[in-house]
A and B are shown apart, each in its own frame.
Chain A
Amino acid sequence: MNGPHDLGGQHGLGPVAPEKDEPIFHAEWEKRALGVTLSCGAFGAWSIDESRHARENIPPATYLSASYYEIWIRALETLLERHGFATTEELESGVLAGPGRAPKRVLTADMVEGVLAKGGPCDRPASGPALFKPGERVRTRNFNPTTHTRLPRYARGRGGTVEAVQGSFVFPDDNAHGKGESPQWVYTVVFDAAEIWGEGAAPGLTVSIDAWESYLERA
């Protein structure tokens, strides 16, 4: 979707303002927000792709003014409700109304080390050979789905070069919507800045994305 999250190339969002000696957390609630989000992810009820799409669906004005932990919490509430773990009333009041759905797994303290050390690999066996080879010229497709995609707007309809074949991975455009993992080959595709930004593009700049095979056509 062309949501507020797709930020590459936008102007007017201010200076970066890096913070010297930035603390790991800026408030106690950020620690809890991290832990609650990861704990709920461990239910196994939704994928990282569905989570990302829930974040993208936050209204633009809210998204752009929220800190990232706030974005996480807002999306988490949507997911908890969608998957039957909590009701709107419960989330608004904070008061338990009923048991709700039981998850496949509840993350307990003794499981944390193992779960974090394992992570969630997204590579999957390929269903066929890779269509493109390193060095090949390709063009990204131009599409504007209202659903989840990982092809940013700035890189749509652009000519680039395949730099590497990175393996076969879960396809987020399907997986975010419960349509299965549909693994595809992923390629690192590199673009000259002038191809993306045209006149006045920064000299000596190249930008790469990691693109699923169906994002690409032979140039």
Chain B
Amino acid sequence: MHDHDDDHHHDNHFSDMQARVKALETLLTAKGLIDPKAIDAIVETYETKIGPRNGAHVVAKAWTDPEFAAWLKRDATAAIASLGYTGRQGEHMRAVFNTPETHNLVVCTLCSCYPWSVLGLPPVWYKAPAYRSRAVIDPRGVLAEFGLALPEGQAIRVWDSTAELRYLVIPERPAGTEAMGEAELAALVSRDAMIGTAIVHLAEAA
């Protein structure tokens, strides 16, 4: 249905989607199948409560608390839940730790699997064909498009999220942050560093 949409130019296509989703919401509301206020609540949750700050908290705690880091390695779902981050698309968590020897990169080649409970909704590029196709065959080429050049000898491990496990990359803690506390450290950690398309720099604090 609505296949005539495909012939439109991008801008028209965009407004077509606006009309199409509006019509769908109106129809389903009239049928009593959905509650528009529930949609507002879902949107508000992902705009204000569930986002990459959750993951940054996990990373900073792992950097400062060796027991927590060990728990995260052993049972990431439980360790992350202890900070209050649970639920949809974070039911089965795994934390993967970057080391000087190996850099980790997460992708979902088959759809858009992403750890929502700790990173929020995935960015557009994560769900788009370019990233999904190339991360597994040319990760260095992909990382270059993010402005990241890893050391020549560092191995790369790509995790394709083909099942229900959701991966959170724990980046390496940068040198010079020894005196920093958890909150200050968390502020250094970007979303992309927890996907593996960035690393953590001290300069990010600026």
Contacts and interface: CB of A to CB of B under 8 A. Distances in A.
Interface in A153-212: 154-155, 166-167, 169-170, 186, 188, 190, 193, 196-197, 202, 204-212
Given A67-B124, A112-B38, A77 B24 contact: yes
Interface in A40-55: 40, 43, 52, 55
B121 A34 contact: yes
A115 B6 CA distance: 35
Interface in A126-174: 150-152, 154-155, 166-167, 169-170
Given A16-B142, A38-B42, A55 B111 contact: yes
Interface in B128-156: 128-134, 136-140, 142, 145-146, 153-156
A47 to B, nearest CB: 11
Contacts of B164: 122-123, 169-170, 186, 210
Nearest to A193: B137
B41 A109 contact: yes
A24 B162 contact: no
Contacts of B154: 204
A116 B39 CA distance: 12
A31 B1 contact: no
Given A19-B125, A73-B21, A204-B154, A8 B42 contact: no
Which among A88, A116, A193 has the greatest number of chain B C-beta atoms within 10 A?
A116
- 6 A-B pairs with the lowest CB-CB distances in the bound complex, closest first: A35-B39, A94-B23, A210-B163, A8-B109, A109-B37, A68-B127
Interface of B: 1-3, 6, 14, 17-18, 20-28, 30-35, 37-43, 45-47, 50-51, 86-92, 94, 109-112, 117, 120-121, 123-125, 127-134, 136-140, 142, 145-146, 153-165, 192, 197
Interface of A: 5-11, 13-19, 22, 24-29, 31-36, 38-40, 43, 52, 55, 61-62, 64-65, 67-70, 73, 76-77, 80, 85-86, 88, 90-92, 94-96, 99-100, 103, 106-109, 111-113, 115-123, 150-152, 154-155, 166-167, 169-170, 186, 188, 190, 193, 196-197, 202, 204-212
